[in-house]
Amino acid sequence: MDVLPALSGRRAGEISASVEAAIRSGALAPGEALPPVRRLAEHLSVSPTTVGAAYRDLQIRGVVTASGRRGTRVSPRPPLGHQLAAPVPPGVRNLAGGNPDPAFLPDLGGALARLRPRQRLYGEPAHEPELLELAAGLFAADGISPDFLLAVGGALDGIERVLMAHLRPGDRVGVEDPGYPPVFDLLLGLGLVPVPVAVDDRGLEPDALEGALRRPLAALVLTPRAQNPTGAALDAQRARELRDLLADRQDVLVVEDDHAGPVAGAPAHTLGGDPLERWAVIRSFSKSLGPDLRLAVMSGDPVTVSRVEGRQQLGVGWVSHLLQELVVALWRNERVQRLMSEGAASYGERRHALVGALAAQGIAAHGRSGFNVWVPVPDEQAALQALLDRGWAAVAGERFRLRSHPAIRVSIGQLDPGEAPAVAAALAVRGSRAARTRSG
């Protein structure tokens, strides 16, 4: 389709705005090519320099990507407002959402009723001392330095602030492949270049990281456990191997997204701290206490924490003390601690049940920790349709992949272990058979 009629403007800002409008309206689709600079310049009766400036602005903001001979194309995930995923059809079980089971989340109403918060005024300290004390204990217990701490508005907020504290548009950032789509989107939105690093059940593959480090790499973003979508989790040996690779690369900023924390179903192993010069470990409470608690605690080197805190003061100022107090109250509640322990055990049972049922069908799958099972398949849409025909909804792996092979993600937060054989049987139907084990 000719997109020229959808584009307009005499100045670079007007042209870039018209491209964004075309993307929002659907006139330009993700991955679609934009007109060559000279062709669009002739159409708009402007200089190629003006169009080039518009394209560069869009590229810096991650809306488009420069693809060499393939020209300039709309980003696969442009950082613009988009519609939510299509709802799950009536009568179909939702194994697509990636949410924790509400049965293992605490009663927020009761906790709020017991709080006695006071009004906070401008100029007061940004952090609740009890929250910092809690964070220090959590990090220290896992061998992570608690010397410099702060609160951020969730894991992705922390990742964004850390990256902005050190990086500039055009910098290359290593990311897990397959990995978490919002991280990919965030990098593109900041004008950064995602560099895929393969993962296995134990996290980033050392050979893959070594290969990525052969070229300039400004940062590395990884998930130490409950990796989304594969469920990968670092062990002590893998963490040591990765630290050794990074020991001589003090130019690389390492950011860990420990989003699941105590309900991940795996112990915490970190790359943060010595010998790294620039690092941050961000631990969210969203999976353990509830997604609406947009709060995470962050530990890091003094320069990174200072920069993030300084920039935070120029914007939102601080994370609500009400949220900070609520998290502390919940975390110190014995019943909530039992809920988290029960949740971690149940999620593990559900993952193991599904991976085992798939193996019984000769289907290889991954789910070492967290809330998801990653199932390699030859055809994602065929596999999803096979599940849907049997009353189950899952997610295509396409959005999670950069270079890795096709797969689907099945979330276990709403799955009863007894239902696992039915899900596996649906995936084993002819025409959607997943990747086979050697014994399959």
Query: For the segment 224-251, what is each residue's pLDDT rounded down to a tens digit?
Result: 999 999 999 999 999 999 999 999 898 9
User: What local confidence, expressed as pLDDT, does residue 245 receive?
Assistant: 95
Q: Which segments of the chain belong to CATH 3.40.640.10?
A: 107-332
Query: In 3D, which of 283, 253, 280 has the Cα closest to residue 268?
Result: 283
Contacts of 302 (CB under 8 A, 6+ apart): 147, 148
Query: What is d(CA 8, CA 35) in angstroms, rounded to the nearest whole number?
Result: 12
pLDDT at residue 185, rounded to an integer: 87
CA distances from 8 to 14, 266, 270, 355 (A): 7, 53, 50, 52
Q: How far apart are CA 20 and CA 22, in angstroms?
A: 5
Name 155's Cβ contacts closer than 8 Å, sequence gap at least 6.
257, 258, 259, 282, 283, 284, 286, 296
Question: Can you read off the two tokens belonging to residue 184?
Answer: 């990919």
In the chain, CATH 1.10.10.10 sits at 4-74
- pLDDT for 81 equals 65
Integer angstrom CA distances of residue 240 from 143, 214, 247, 325, 378? 13, 19, 10, 36, 34
The CATH fold of domain 4-74: Arc Repressor Mutant, subunit A (1.10.10)
Alpha-carbon gap, residue 346 to 359, rounded angstroms: 20
Residue 56: predicted pLDDT? 86
pLDDT at 15: 92
Series of mean pLDDT values for 10-residue runs along the chain (440 residues):
85 91 86 90 93 87 76 79 66 91 94 91 92 96 95 96 94 96 89 94 98 96 98 97 93 96 96 90 96 95 96 91 95 96 97 97 96 96 93 92 94 95 89 46
According to the model, what pLDDT value does residue 439 have? 38
User: pTM for this structure?
Assistant: 0.85
Tell me if 148 sits within 8 A of 305, measured CB to CB. yes
**Residue limits of CATH 3.90.1150.10 in the chain:** 93-102+336-427
Place of tokens 């962050």: 298
Q: What topology does CATH give the domain 93-102+336-427?
A: Aspartate Aminotransferase, domain 1 (3.90.1150)
What pLDDT was estimated at residue 438?
42
Domain 107-332 matching CATH 2.60.40.10: the answer reads no
